[in-house]
Amino acid sequence: MGGIGSGRRYQGGKDTTSDMRALDVRRLQRDGLLTPGRNFGWHWTRNGEELASIQMRTQVDRVILHYRSRSNGGEWQPMEYTVHLQWTPCNFGGRRVWFRCPAQGCGRRVAILFGGSIFACRHCHKLAYECQRETDDDRAMRRADTIRRRLGWEAGIANPEGGKPKGMHWNTFERLKAQHDAFANTSWAGMAERLGLINRRLEMLRLDPLELGRDE
Q: DSSP 3-state assignment of 26?
A: helix
Q: Does 157 interact with Zn ion (rule: CB under 5 A)? A: no
Our finding on whether 106 is near Zn ion (CB under 5 A) is: yes
Among 56, 85, 124, 144, interactor with Zn ion by CB under 5 A: 124
Q: Applying CB under 5 A, which part among 13-21, 47-55, 65-73, 107-115 lies near Zn ion?
A: 107-115
Q: How far is the CB of 146 from Zn ion (least distance, A)?
A: 37
Given a contact cutoff of 8 angstroms between Cβ atoms, the answer to whether 29 and 97 are in contact is: yes
CB nearer to Zn ion: give 66 or 126.
126
The span from the CA of 50 to the CA of 2, in Å, is 8
What are the residues whose beta carbons fall under 8 Å from the beta carbon of 116, sequence distance 6 or more?
A: 15, 19, 20, 125, 128
Number of residues near Zn ion (by CB under 5 A): 7
Q: Does residue 67 come out as left (phi exceeding 0), alpha (psi in the -120 to 50 range) or beta?
A: beta
Q: How far is the CB of 12 from Zn ion (least distance, A)?
A: 23
Q: Could you give the CA distance from residue 54 to residue 61 in angstroms, rounded to a whole number?
A: 19
Taking each helix axis from N to C end, the angle separating 122-151 and 170-215, rounded to the nearest 10 degrees, works out to 160
Q: From the CB of 123, what's the least distance to Zn ion, in Å?
A: 5
Provide Rg for the chain, Cα atoms.
24
Please pick, from the candidates 63, 85, 103, 118, the single residue that binds Zn ion as defined by CB under 5 A. 103
* 144 is a contact residue toward Zn ion (CB under 5 A): no
CB 34 within 8 Å of CB 58: yes
Beta-bridge partner residues of 110: 99
Stretch touching Zn ion by CB under 5 A, among 114-122, 126-134, 143-151, 163-171: 114-122
Q: How far is the CB of 122 from Zn ion (least distance, A)?
A: 8
Contact flag: residue 51 with Zn ion (CB under 5 A): no
The answer to whether residue 65 forms part of the interface with Zn ion (CB under 5 A) is no
User: Least separation, in Å, of the C-beta of 98 and Zn ion?
Assistant: 12
For residue 173, the SS3 value is helix
**Residues written for the chain:** 216
Q: Where on the chain is the footprint of Zn ion (CB under 5 A)?
A: 101, 103, 106, 108, 120-121, 124
